[in-house]
Amino acid sequence: MICSCRRSIISHSSKNTAAIAYTFTSYILGILSIASPYWQLNVLGVIAIAHSLVTATNLAHEFIHGNIFKEPAANAWWGQLMTHLNGACYAPWENLSDYHLNHHLDRADVVRLDAIDYMKQLHPGLRSIYVALEWLYFPILEMDLRWQIILDPWLDVDKRSRSSRNLLLMLYRTLAFGILA
């Protein structure tokens, strides 16, 4: 008897290419839509951008693991591109990769921000605002951690060499957001 089973019509390579193309297409179409004078397109644009940022983050994760391309350099290049879309570009790619892979090796999420100690150090009024925002599912602690990563070169003497890099990143991203506004 002849088996009628067939392999997937679309190869993994094609699926990866489609996912990358989808991410950039939805991001670009989202930008164009939020620049439209029609509120309906603005809403669709916000959804498209949000989805493309989530997809870029998922792809960056796969690039860190080297799951997309056979060549590590290609994974690193595309991964860095994805972090520029999703805003994780302030930490060098090597640091992101090392941190994430160590997370799997150590089977732990070791972050330098101890949320409980950090919250205890905040002024009680500010702490109440943080708690309220987190309760409303606004990720204020995540945003705070992102700002600490961005400002690291100016706060940590060992990371001063990255200050020019982060300053250029802040300038180009601020300029891009300014143009969009």
pLDDT in tens, 62-120: 999 998 988 999 999 999 999 999 888 888 898 888 888 877 777 666 666 677 888 99
- Whether pLDDT at 44 is above 90: yes
- Among 1-5, 18-22, 26-30, 156-160, the minimum mean pLDDT is found in 1-5
pLDDT range class, residue 33, cuts 50, 70, 90: very high
Confidence at residue 145, expressed as pLDDT on a 0 to 100 scale:
84
132 against 109, higher pLDDT: 132
Instruction: Judge whether residue 130 has pLDDT over 60.
Output: yes
pLDDT at position 27 is 96
Residues 6+ apart with CB under 8 A from 157: none
As a whole number, the mean pLDDT across the chain is 87
CA distance 109 to 63: 19
| Residues 8-18: tens digit of each pLDDT | 444 567 888 99
User: What's the confidence (pLDDT) of residue 96?
Assistant: 86
Which pLDDT score, from 0 to 100, does residue 8 have? 43
Question: pTM, whole model, 2 decimals?
Answer: 0.76
Q: Which residue has the higher pLDDT, 144 or 26?
A: 26
